[in-house]
Amino acid sequence: MKEATMKGFAGKVAVVTGASGDIGLAIARELAAGGAAVWCVDVRPPAQGIEGEEGLRYAELDITDSAAVTAFFERVRAEGGPATLVVNAAGGPGSVRTPVDEVTDEAWHRVLTLNLTGTFHCCREAVRHLKAAGLPGSIVNISSGAGRTYSRTGVQAYAAAKAGVIGLTRQLARELGPHGIRVNCVAPGLIVSDGTREEIGRLGDENLATHLSGVSMGRLGEAEDMVAPVVFFLDDAAGYVTGQTISADGGSIMLG
């Protein structure tokens, strides 16, 4: 019988986008602790700094730039072999609480390009190299609770893009299964991070209490809460799991 335990990531090459954010960096550090060689990808270096941390290296990359993504994944292949573990954590909501009739074309396309098209760019290039090398792999896309239901903060483009990430995940899982490439998705709830602290602060005590009343666990999530679901999907022990979305939201959304 196949042993169903986490085996670690020794000798594997991983790419984590959005790794300057709290969630991406927490995931990258966990993979490095498991033995992976991890490329921490973002448009800016992690504010905490990763210099000297074993298994981590930073690469500047704008995932909305298709040519740059192509060049980056070729660099990964050339310098250590194709990435067999890919986490697409880059993204952001853009402006919040904007009525739909005031959303500009530019704002709409910017958010969709970052959250959905950027994820597609990275999936496409990762798959090209895995197929060429004949290697299995695991891709985890980060969506959002807004992509599974809706957001209360008026982020129309973000909700649409994150729903698109879930659809892209399912479609790629169906297509890539015969190649041994698994594609899954994690949908966080409201997580305390560098990208949300300002918005959470604007909620005020009453609105925050109202939000928490809808969270079964009764608390906001932390970046570290996202690590275990992602690692589960990446690990070989989940080798028969693909096309799935886990809501990591403390019990805010309970879908079958």
Helix (H) or strand (E) holding 170: helix 156-176
> Do the Cβ atoms of 140 and 233 come closer than 8 Å?
yes
* Dihedral of the alpha carbons of 109, 115, 86, 39, in degrees to the nearest 10: 80
Active site residue 158: yes
Strand, helix or coil for residue 154? coil
d(CA 184, CA 193) in angstroms, rounded, equals: 22
DSSP string, 36-47: -EEEEEESS--T
CA-CA distance, 234 to 26, in Å (whole number)?
A: 15
Catalytic residue among 58, 150, 158, 240: 158
Between CA 84 and CA 189 the distance in angstroms is 27
Nearest-angstrom CA–CA distance, 9 and 33: 9
Which residues does the annotation mark as catalytic? Answer: 158
